[in-house]
């Protein structure tokens, strides 16, 4: 049994006063009279739930989901008198979206619209107070503090948010105690003992005045002084705590109070209360008995005073019923308690505002014009028959929803503003936000701009169609190259394979496999290792390929030049041996390896999150590090390619049996066309499509070289084996098969140790051809240390004469042929 709460009775009377003021005004609900029911929560959750259900059902029997009263429609609940009580009642009325306006319930959890969809309040959220307390502690430099909280939602959530803020600043909590909701002197004394033993001189208390009163009494009895108290709004201005006997240890208390206000006519209305009035009730009689320490005649209302039973439950020895009867002539002006104290109207003023909030909502409902209403199809609700969720609003501008911010409209009142949608990458997650704040780097705003979500990461993945296709084409190309290698291996001793150094041909095939398979390094999520080796591997692969081709084209060029020389000039002519070709490849690769090593050592590539072009995506790509090194690395490949093209282009005029230079020329043209087209295409694309463009260029150039260099030879090896003979390739015989492409002859013969120069077959008669063929065979037999030179510059008669004289040498008739042979 607790004492009568004069402060709570003043709140109830203030509500009645506000309702009567609304009913007497002509500008608000002129033809409607508001009524009320008052339920005493007794500051307990059980009585709060009981009162809420009784209000909803219309009778004292609590039957949820069923209203038994046929009276005036219910409008709203004003209350309750504390956060824990309001949480209990709001969970019930929220099921029906029934509005409840709190005037003293500041707990932050009530702001959760998912749990409490119909709760409103005229008191600030406790988060603001907790933050202000934390700033106060930081301002004074206090780093060793104690905390005490009531054992309810108000105390727990308030002190929790306070701790979160101060601990970020390195402030330490010396102790953290809880005041029991149900009186327990043992637990109260434990809190007192914790305060005594602690060296902390700053104590933050989050509690209501009713819950805190027992602790203050014990602290007074224990004579604890020298502490500075930081008070929450629920007790900092309470008369129950601000007693003279507590001044010795509560002096210097700091706290944040609720904003005060003046209520016209309230003092007179508070004095106008008497048990004899027709409107009197049990609360009025209990108030009168308690205020004047008397018993009302013939009353069954329980008697209680501030002096009979205190909050600790200990009787003071006074009888439960006063011996003195109330006369009714007692004067309220003569008593001094919190009921008549209107100098600091704080929570009382919140009650007054809560009533007018509901009244204005009803007035908006009453004055709604059909077709301009706030409900579906711009309809209005009927004032005498409406659903509780239908509180219309009167605003200049509707609230800015999450995802937008309030913008100032110049020349109009502050209530009139414009809602500006947040920009991409920014959000606001509360109503009427003043500013939008940016999302972290790896996040972007969602469609509603009210939440930051992880950005989509874009890269060319193996499991998407484009990546799968490119990888498949790359594997297909590598398989084709391997098939060419197998054919070359099987037919390695044939004339076509041996022509112009078969070792270089195998190296070209190896390099093409490398370049084709580098596509795998470009597909998939970029990693540090893949970024560092993919361009280097590609550059080395092309260097190997182009240096081998250059070795072939230089040999063809020298052969072409030798074919233009006369017999005397051929003596000093330099030929390209197989050793020289491989040495050229080795030197080229050493140069490229040195460039690549310097590149990876000095400024290597790395994984880069590109967020410059799209706010909603992170383009995961490889930053190539040094552009200068990259250009140098591929510039050397371009240099080799240019040399290959020039030498092949010059040697393309070799006779038909030596036209490998023509195919290399075509291959290099394809190579240049692909990579010249690649540059503008690469620079004009973004994201994963840049990688696609580079892979396409790699595949196209590799397939171009493969087709132009090896397809003609493979055609002869597999489909025209009759052309794959020493006689045809080296020019000893001709073929009448015009359907097959001509091939290059062996520039460095692998048949003999001597060098066979370019022998060109012209259109001779059958008889002449027989002489020349014999002439050629004799030259091969006799070519030990001599080279045989034959050119179109000599007349046909010369060739026939030489053949005849060779026969004379064999028979011993002649010893030397000066005009047919020349010393190497």
Q: If you write DSSP's letter for every residue of 3-17 in order, what string do you get?
A: ---HHHHHHHHHHHH
Q: What pLDDT is stored for residue 773 in this prediction?
A: 52
Give the 3-state secondary structure of residue 514. Answer: helix
Pairing of strands 617-623, 456-458: parallel
CA 427 to chain centre: 13
For residue 230, the 8-state DSSP code is E
How far from 72 is each of 18, 37, 67, 384, 751, CA to CA, in Å? Answer: 19, 12, 12, 8, 119
Give CA torsion, residues 793, 799, 802, 807, to 10 deg.
Answer: 160
Q: What's the rounded Cα separation, in Å, for the pair 427 and 616?
A: 13
Q: At residue 29, does pLDDT exceed 60?
A: yes
Q: At residue 311, does pLDDT exceed 50?
A: no
Q: If you write DSSP's letter for every residue of 89-136 in order, what string do you get?
A: HHHHHGGGT--EEESS---GGGG-TTT-TTEEESS--HHHHHHHHHHH
Q: Rounded mean pLDDT of 476-504?
A: 85
pLDDT band at 558; cut points 50, 70, 90:
confident
The larger pLDDT score, comparing residue 761 to residue 114, is at 114
Backbone angles phi, psi at 178, to 5 degrees: -125, 135
Q: Which H or E run contains 48? A: helix 45-57
How far from 686 is each of 336, 462, 529, 730, CA to CA, in Å? Answer: 80, 19, 22, 53
Q: Poorest-confidence range of 64-73, 315-324, 811-820?
A: 811-820
Q: Poorest-confidence range of 5-14, 185-194, 411-420?
A: 411-420
The larger pLDDT score, comparing residue 67 to residue 501, is at 501
Q: At residue 584, does pLDDT exceed 50?
A: yes
The per-residue b/e assignment along 678-717, b for 16 or more CB within 10 angstroms, e otherwise, is: beeebeeeebbebbbbbbbbbbbbbbbbbbbbbebbbebb
3-state helix, strand, coil in the chain (%, to 5): 50, 10, 40
Q: What's the rounded Cα separation, in Å, for the pair 692 and 816?
A: 68
Q: Is 408 exposed, middle or buried (0-12, 13-18, 19+ CB in 10 A)?
A: exposed
Which range of 468-477, 501-510, 547-556 scores highest in mean pLDDT? It is 468-477
Q: Rounded mean pLDDT of 217-241?
A: 91
Q: What pLDDT is stored for residue 732 in this prediction?
A: 52
Q: What's the rounded Cα separation, in Å, for the pair 188 and 806?
A: 133
Q: Rounded mean pLDDT of 297-306?
A: 64
pLDDT band at 229; cut points 50, 70, 90:
very high
Cα–Cα–Cα angle for 26, 32, 36, rounded to 5 degrees: 115
Q: What pLDDT is stored for residue 319 in this prediction?
A: 38
Q: What pLDDT is stored for residue 230 in this prediction?
A: 95
Q: If you write DSSP's letter for every residue of 452-464 in order, what string do you get?
A: EEEPEEE---TTS
Q: Is the dihedral of CA 51, 52, 58, 63 positive or negative?
A: negative
Q: At residue 804, does pLDDT exceed 90?
A: no
The larger pLDDT score, comparing residue 13 to residue 493, is at 13
Q: What pLDDT is stored for residue 88 in this prediction?
A: 92
Backbone angles phi, psi at 606, to 5 degrees: -155, 165
* Domain chopping of the chain, boundaries: 1-123+345-389, 126-255, 404-454, 465-822
The larger pLDDT score, comparing residue 534 to residue 497, is at 534
Half-sphere exposure of 338 (CA within 13 A, CB side): 22
Q: What is the pLDDT of residues 684-732, one digit of tens each?
A: 888 888 899 999 999 999 999 998 888 888 888 888 877 777 666 655 5
Give the 3-state secondary structure of residue 167. Answer: helix
pLDDT band at 749; cut points 50, 70, 90:
very low
With a pLDDT cut of 70, the percent of the chain lying above it is 79
In CATH terms, is domain 1-123+345-389 a member of 3.30.1230.10?
no
Give the 3-state secondary structure of residue 270. Answer: helix
Q: Rounded mean pLDDT of the chain?
A: 80
Q: What's the rounded Cα separation, in Å, for the pair 513 and 494?
A: 24
For residue 604, the 8-state DSSP code is -
pLDDT band at 492; cut points 50, 70, 90:
confident
Cα–Cα–Cα angle for 807, 809, 813, rounded to 5 degrees: 100
CA 173 to chain centre: 36
Q: What's the rounded Cα separation, in Å, for the pair 468 and 522?
A: 12
Q: What's the rounded Cα separation, in Å, for the pair 4 and 42?
A: 9
Half-sphere exposure of 308 (CA within 13 A, CB side): 18
Q: In this structure, are residues 193 and 90 in contact, taking their beta carbons and an 8 Å threshold? A: no
Of 549, 502, 539, whose CA–CA distance to 665 is shortest?
549
Q: Rounded mean pLDDT of 209-237?
A: 92
Q: What's the rounded Cα separation, in Å, for the pair 100 and 87?
A: 11
Q: In this structure, are residues 22 and 359 in contact, taking their beta carbons and an 8 Å threshold? A: yes
The top-level CATH class assigned to 126-255 is: alpha beta
Q: Poorest-confidence range of 169-178, 193-202, 240-249, 750-759?
A: 750-759
Q: Is 410 left (phi over 0), alpha (psi -120 to 50) or beta?
A: beta
Contacts of 405 (CB under 8 A, 6+ apart): 419, 420, 422, 428, 433, 434, 435, 436
The larger pLDDT score, comparing residue 15 to residue 780, is at 15
The larger pLDDT score, comparing residue 777 to residue 209, is at 209
Q: What pLDDT is stored for residue 657 in this prediction?
A: 53
Contacts of 111 (CB under 8 A, 6+ apart): 125
Centre a 10 Å sphere on the Cβ of residue 476 and count the other Cβ atoms it contains.
12
Of 696, 526, 555, whose CA–CA distance to 620 is shortest?
526
CATH number of 465-822: 1.20.1070
With a pLDDT cut of 90, the percent of the chain lying above it is 33
Q: What's the rounded Cα separation, in Å, for the pair 13 and 15?
A: 5
Whether the domain at 1-123+345-389 and the domain at 126-255 fall into the same CATH topology: yes
Q: If you write DSSP's letter for every residue of 742-796 in order, what string do you get?
A: P-PPPSS-SSSSSPP---------HHHHHHHHHHHHHHHHH-SSEEE---TTS-H
Q: What's the rounded Cα separation, in Å, for the pair 22 and 100?
A: 19
Q: What's the rounded Cα separation, in Å, for the pair 184 and 730?
A: 116
Start-to-end CA distance of the chain, whole Å, equals: 131
Query: Which residue(s) pair with 256 in the sheet?
Result: none
Pairing of strands 119-121, 144-150: unpaired
pLDDT band at 114; cut points 50, 70, 90:
confident
Of 299, 286, 201, whose CA–CA distance to 252 is shortest?
201
Contacts of 86 (CB under 8 A, 6+ apart): 79, 80, 100, 102, 105, 107, 110, 119
Q: In this structure, are residues 285 and 296 in contact, taking their beta carbons and an 8 Å threshold? A: yes
Place of tokens 């009981």: 50
Contacts of 601 (CB under 8 A, 6+ apart): none
The total number of residues written for the chain in this structure: 824
């Amino acid at each position: 049994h607790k004492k009568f709460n004069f402060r709570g009775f003043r709140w109830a009377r203030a509500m009645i006063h506000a309702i009567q003021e609304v009913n007497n005004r002509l500008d608000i609900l002129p033809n409607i009279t508001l009524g009320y029911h008052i339920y005493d929560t007794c500051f307990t959750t059980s009585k709060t739930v009981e009162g809420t259900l009784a209000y909803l059902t219309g009778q004292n029997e609590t039957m949820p989901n069923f209203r038994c009263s046929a009276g005036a429609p219910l409008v709203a609940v004003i209350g309750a008198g504390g956060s824990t009580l309001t949480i209990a009642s709001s969970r019930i009325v929220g099921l029906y979206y029934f509005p409840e306006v709190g005037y003293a319930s500041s707990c932050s959890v009530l702001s959760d619209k998912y749990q409490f969809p119909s709760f409103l309040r005229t008191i600030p959220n406790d988060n603001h107070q907790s933050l202000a307390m934390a700033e106060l502690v930081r301002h004074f430099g206090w780093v060793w503090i104690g905390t005490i909280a009531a054992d309810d939602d108000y105390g727990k959530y308030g002190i929790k948010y306070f701790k979160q803020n101060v601990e970020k600043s390195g402030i330490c909590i010396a102790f953290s105690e809880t005041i029991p909701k149900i009186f327990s002197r043992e637990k109260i004394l434990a809190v007192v003992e914790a305060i005594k033993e602690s060296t902390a001189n700053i104590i933050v208390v989050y509690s209501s005045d009713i819950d805190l009163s027992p602790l203050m009494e014990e602290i007074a009895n224990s004579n604890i002084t020298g502490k500075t108290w930081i008070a929450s709004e629920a007790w900092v201005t309470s008369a129950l705590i601000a007693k003279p006997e507590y001044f010795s240890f509560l002096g210097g208390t700091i706290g944040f109070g609720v904003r005060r206000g003046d209520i016209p006519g309230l003092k007179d209305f508070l004095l106008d209360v008497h048990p004899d009035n027709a409107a009197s009730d049990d609360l009025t009689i209990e108030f009168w008995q308690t205020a004047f320490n008397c018993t009302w005649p013939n009353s069954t209302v329980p008697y209680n005073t501030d002096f009979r039973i205190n909050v600790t439950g200990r009787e003071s020895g006074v009888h439960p019923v006063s011996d003195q009867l109330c006369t009714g002539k007692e004067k309220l002006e003569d008593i001094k308690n919190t009921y008549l104290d209107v100098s600091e109207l704080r929570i009382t003023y919140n009650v007054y505002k809560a009533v007018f909030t509901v009244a204005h909502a009803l007035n908006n409902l009453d004055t709604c014009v059909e077709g301009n209403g706030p409900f579906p199809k711009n309809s209005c609700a009927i004032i005498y028959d409406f659903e509780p969720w239908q509180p219309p609003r009167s605003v200049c501008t509707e609230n800015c929803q999450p995802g937008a911010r309030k913008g100032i409209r110049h020349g109009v009142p502050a209530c009139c503003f414009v809602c500006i949608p947040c920009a991409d990458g920014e959000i606001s997650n509360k109503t009427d936000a003043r500013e939008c704040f940016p999302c972290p780097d790896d996040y972007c705003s969602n469609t509603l701009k009210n939440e930051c979500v992880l950005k989509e990461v874009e890269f060319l993945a193996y499991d998407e169609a484009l990546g799968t296709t490119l990888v498949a084409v790359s594997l297909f190309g590598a398989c084709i190259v391997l098939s060419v290698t197998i054919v070359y291996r099987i037919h390695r001793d044939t004339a076509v394979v041996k022509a112009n150094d078969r070792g270089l041909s195998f190296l070209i095939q190896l390099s093409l496999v490398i370049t084709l398979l580098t596509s795998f390094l470009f597909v998939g999520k970029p990693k540090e290792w893949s970024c560092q080796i993919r361009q280097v591997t590609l550059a080395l692969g092309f260097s190997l390929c182009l240096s081998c081709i250059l070795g072939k084209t230089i040999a063809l060029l020298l052969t072409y030049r030798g074919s233009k020389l006369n017999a005397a000039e051929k003596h000093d002519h330099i030929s390209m041996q197989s050793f020289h070709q491989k040495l050229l490849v080795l030197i080229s690769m050493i140069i490229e390896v040195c460039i690549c090593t310097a590149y990876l050592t000095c400024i290597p590539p790395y994984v880069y999150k590109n967020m410059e072009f799209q706010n909603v995506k992170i383009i995961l790509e490889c930053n190539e590090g040094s552009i200068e090194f990259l250009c140098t690395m591929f510039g050397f490949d371009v240099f080799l390619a240019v040399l290959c093209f020039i030498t092949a282009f010059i040697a393309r005029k070799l006779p038909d049996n030596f036209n490998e230079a023509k195919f290399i020329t075509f291959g290099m043209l394809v190579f240049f066309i692909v990579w010249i087209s690649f540059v503008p295409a690469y620079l004009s694309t973004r994201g994963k499509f840049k990688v696609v463009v580079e892979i396409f260029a790699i595949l196209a150039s590799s397939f171009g070289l493969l087709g132009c260099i090896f397809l003609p030879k493979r055609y002869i090896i597999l489909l025209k084996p009759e052309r794959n003979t020493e006689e045809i390739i080296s020019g000893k015989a001709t073929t009448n098969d015009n359907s097959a492409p001509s091939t290059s002859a062996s520039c460095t013969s692998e048949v003999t140790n001597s060098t066979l120069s370019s022998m060109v077959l012209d259109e001779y008669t059958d008889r002449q051809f027989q002489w020349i063929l014999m002439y050629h065979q004799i030259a091969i037999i006799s070519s030990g240390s001599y080279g045989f030179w034959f050119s179109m510059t000599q007349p046909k008669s010369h060739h026939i004469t030489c053949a005849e004289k060779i026969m004379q040498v064999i028979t011993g008739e002649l010893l030397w042929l000066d005009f047919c042979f020349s010393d190497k």
